[in-house]
């Protein structure tokens, strides 16, 4: 049996990860956008001092998703849910196309 050599890479920036995965520029931009919104959502929840249940009521997002975002676990959370959570906390953001 021939053992193939593998090369491990550590990537931290979305651009590096996207390039390592062979993603298109559009997919990389979307990944960066979601990462930015995830950070904003986590900070917005903390700054609002609202309970998870209050955010659930205002946003219409499930408790499990709001709790996940609050704890920084945003992998299974879509961009539209992140935006609804951010809006429910009273945080206002401006989105500009580059």
- Print burial letters for 32-55: b (CB count within 10 Å at least 16), e (below 16): eebeebbebbbebbeebebebeeb
Q: Give residue limits of the domains in the chain.
A: 14-88
**pLDDT tens digits for 45-61?**
999 999 999 999 999 99
pLDDT tens digit sequence for 71-85: 999 888 999 999 999
Phi, psi of 26 (to 5 degrees): -65, -45
The pLDDT of residue 48 is 95
- The yes or no reply on domain 14-88 and CATH 1.10.20 is no
> What is the four-CA torsion angle of 40, 43, 86, 24, rounded to 10 degrees?
20
pTM metric for this prediction:
0.79
Q: At residue 20, what are phi and psi to the nearest 5 degrees?
A: -65, -30
């Amino acid at each position: 049996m021939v053992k193939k050599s593998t090369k491990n890479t550590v990537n931290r920036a979305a651009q590096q990860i996207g390039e390592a995965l062979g993603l298109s520029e559009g997919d990389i931009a979307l990944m960066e956008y979601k990462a930015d919104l995830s950070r904003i959502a986590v900070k917005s929840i903390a700054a609002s001092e609202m309970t998870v249940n209050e955010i659930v009521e205002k946003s219409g997002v499930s408790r499990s998703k709001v709790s996940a975002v609050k704890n920084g676990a945003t992998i299974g959370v879509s961009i539209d849910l992140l935006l609804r959570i951010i809006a429910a906390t009273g945080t206002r953001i401006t989105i500009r196309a580059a």
